Amino acid sequence: MPDESQKGPPGGVPGEEERIFFGDLVRAMGYATAEQILECLNVQRREDERGLPHRRVGEILVERGYLRPAQLSELLDMI
């Protein structure tokens, strides 16, 4: 009988954890709206397309004033 503690998520690869998206966590905590997160994702995409250094969404959320640095640290500790 297989050891259930070694089982991955249903339908996933054994040993692979379920992926948590940062934007979903931000929304779940009530720190930013879906629209604000999407805006920052679009900024990230445009910067990537222009060949600028890649920035994480959390950094852009803080820059735009949607997230405080302490909130970003709290969220990063959760994932």
pLDDT tens per residue, range 36-72 = 999 999 999 999 999 999 999 999 999 999 999 999 9
Q: How confident is the model at residue 15 (pLDDT cuts 50, 70, 90)?
A: low
Q: What are phi and psi of 29, to 5 degrees?
A: -80, -10
Give the tens place of pLDDT for each residue, 16-43: 567 788 999 999 999 999 999 999 999 9
Q: What is the chain's Cα-based Rg?
A: 16
Q: What angle do CA 12, 8, 34 make, to 5 degrees?
A: 60
Query: pTM of the full predicted structure?
Result: 0.74
Q: How confident is the model at residue 13 (pLDDT cuts 50, 70, 90)?
A: low
29 residue type, one letter: M
